[in-house]
């Protein structure tokens, strides 16, 4: 059994995780793959023991580092597997993301390791804006090629190392880690919100709670953001009415989702 752990807000990492699973089983039909969402472990403080023929991680780069939930997960996991591979999906550059993962793993895991990068579409609308349709097409093609390469690396049990030292990445990630503790306070809901509750359902770490609110004498449900927020931008991208704002940032009329990932696949 190969266990594939993923974290995904807008579907890029999920798409690659699914493709890797499919390629592994096509190469060896007796090798089953299980896809596991790391978000499900976000609020679980128990130790996690993972037994498998191989363990694969697929996750996005956040500020040149790992999503906080993924970092916590790896730190508390015990790996009983001879092989572990990790793939980071990224929009522009993941810099020291894989190095930060290797720093943790080398203390707790002695088996064979492989680290790889998968270019994908940038989903951080607050800085980069909505990606153009042509850009999405080009990035998806790059993602598909890199995912094929990633699958081959796992099937052939390739090994490699990545550098552990990226001082700039370390600094940027430290600032992000401080910011993330406060960012949830800056999400705003515009009058366009219909109270549909999709943001609550798709939040991978259950950081959104729908609450009854009174506005102009009318009571209706609206999302409330909590400190569990990973700032993954899932809700911002996927809200069908574009009703979620972050501080003073005005988002475009379209959000981003991997074109081959259905919204239902992102619902917990
Ligand atoms: C908070 C945040 C920080 C990000 N930081 C980086 C980064 O440092 N480098 C990069 O190349 N992409 C960065 N991205 C883009 C994502 O890593 C990229 O779009 C990823 O493929 C999204 O995967 P997902 O669709 O599975 O969530 C960032 C995205 C978010 C939301
Ligand atoms: S913010 Fe968007 S997704 Fe969330 S309840 Fe309102 S309309 Fe629905
Ligand atoms: S509240 Fe939105 S930005 Fe925060 S973790 Fe959930 S989906 Fe991601």
CATH, residue 195: 3.30.70.20
For ligand 2, atom 2, the nearest C-alpha belongs to: 239
Mean pLDDT of all residues belonging to the chain: 94
Closest CA to 150 of 1, 263, 268, 2: 2
Please check the confidence at residue 82 and state whether its pLDDT lies above 80.
yes
Give residue 218's pLDDT: 81
Tokens linked to 14: 């999920």
Indicate the residue among 173, 197, 227 that finishes a domain: 173
Split at pLDDT 50, 70, 90, the class of 29 is very high
Mean pLDDT, residues 84-90: 98
CA 122 – ligand 1 centroid, Å? 6
State how far the Cα of 162 lies from the Cα of 267, in Å rounded to an integer: 33
Q: Return the minimum-mean-pLDDT range out of 21-30, 185-194, 246-255.
A: 246-255
Q: Which ligand is nearest to the CA of 184?
A: 3
Residue 145 has a pLDDT of: 98
Whether residue 124 is found in the same domain as residue 189 = no
Question: Does residue 15 sit in the same domain as residue 122?
Answer: yes
Mean pLDDT of 10-36: 97
| Phi and psi angles of residue 248, each rounded to the nearest 5 degrees, phi first | -95, 5
Residue 24 shares a structural domain with residue 152: yes
Q: 41-70 b/e with 16+ CB inside 10 Å = b?
A: bbeeeeeeeeebebbbbbbbbbbbbbbbbb
The binding-site residues of ligand 3, defined as CB within 6 angstroms of any ligand atom, are: 9, 203, 205, 207-208, 225, 229-235
Q: Which atom of ligand 1 is nearest to the CA of 61?
A: 17
**Closest atom of ligand 2 to CA, residue 189:** 1
Do 129 and 199 fall within a single domain?
no
Give the model's pLDDT for residue 84: 98
Q: Are residues 147 and 20 in the same domain?
A: yes
Phi, psi of 142 (to 5 degrees): -65, -40
Tell which of 173, 206, 221 closes a domain.
173
Same domain, 185 and 154: no
Domain boundary among 156, 173, 190: 173
| 168 and 57 inside one domain | yes
Do 132 and 197 lie in one domain? The reply is no
Q: Is 192 helix (H, G, I), strand (E, B) or coil?
A: coil
Do 11 and 86 fall into the same domain? yes
Residues 87 and 192 in one domain: no
Ligand 2 geometric centre to CA of 241 (Å) = 7
Structural domains counted in the chain: 2
Residue 28 and residue 117 in one domain: yes
Ligand 2 binding site (Cβ under 6 Å of any ligand atom):
189, 193-199, 223, 239, 241, 243-244
CATH of the domain at 152: 3.40.50.360
Tell me the average pLDDT across 156-184: 94
Does residue 94 register a pLDDT over 80? yes
Residue nearest ligand 2's atom 6 by CA: 193
Residue 165 · residue 128 · CB < 8 Å: no
User: Residue 2: is its pLDDT beyond 90?
Assistant: yes
Whether the per-residue pLDDT at 32 is higher than 80: the answer is yes
Give the range among 43-47, 188-192, 198-202 with minimum mean pLDDT: 43-47
pLDDT tens digit sequence for 208-265: 999 998 877 788 899 999 999 999 999 999 999 999 998 877 777 789 999 999 999 9
| Contact status, residue 59 vs residue 88, Cβ threshold 8 Å | yes
Cα dist from 114 to 20, 111, 213, 221, whole Å = 14, 10, 49, 46
What are the two backbone dihedrals, phi and then psi, of residue 43, each rounded to the nearest 5 degrees?
-115, 25
Q: What range defines the domain where residue 93 resides? A: 2-173
Task: Please tell me whether residues 87 and 150 are part of one structural domain.
Answer: yes
Q: Is the pLDDT of residue 169 over 90?
A: yes
pLDDT above 90 coverage of the chain, percent = 86
């Amino acid at each position: 059994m190969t266990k594939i752990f993923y974290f995904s807000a807008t579907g890029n990492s999920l798409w690659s995780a699914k493709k890797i699973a499919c390629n592994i089983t096509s190469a060896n039909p007796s090798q089953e793959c299980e896809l596991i969402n790391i978000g499900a472990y976000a609020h679980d403080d128990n130790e996690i023991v993972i037994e498998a023929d191989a363990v694969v991680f697929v996750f996005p780069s956040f500020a040149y580092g790992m999503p906080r939930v993924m970092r916590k997960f790896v730190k508390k996991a015990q790996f009983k597997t001879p092989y572990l591979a990790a793939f980071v999906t990224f929009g522009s550059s993941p810099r020291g993301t894989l190095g930060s993962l290797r720093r943790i793993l080398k203390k707790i895991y002695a088996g064979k390791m492989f680290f790889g990068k998968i270019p994908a579409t940038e989903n951080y609308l607050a800085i980069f804006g909505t990606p153009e349709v042509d850009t999405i097409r080009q990035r998806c093609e790059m993602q598909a090629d890199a995912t094929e390469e990633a699958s081959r690396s796992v099937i052939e049990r390739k090994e490699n190392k990545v550098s552990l030292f990226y001082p700039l990445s370390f600094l940027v990630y430290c600032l992000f880690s401080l910011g993330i503790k406060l960012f949830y306070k800056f999400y705003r809901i515009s009058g366009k919100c219909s109270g549909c509750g999709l943001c609550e359902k798709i939040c991978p770490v259950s950081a959104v709670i729908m609450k009854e609110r009174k506005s102009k004498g009318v009571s209706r449900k609206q999302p409330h953001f909590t400190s569990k927020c990973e700032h993954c931008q899932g809700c911002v991208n996927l809200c069908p009415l574009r009703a979620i704002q972050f501080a003073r940032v005005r988002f475009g009329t379209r959000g981003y989702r991997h074109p081959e990932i259905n919204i239902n696949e992102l619902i917990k």
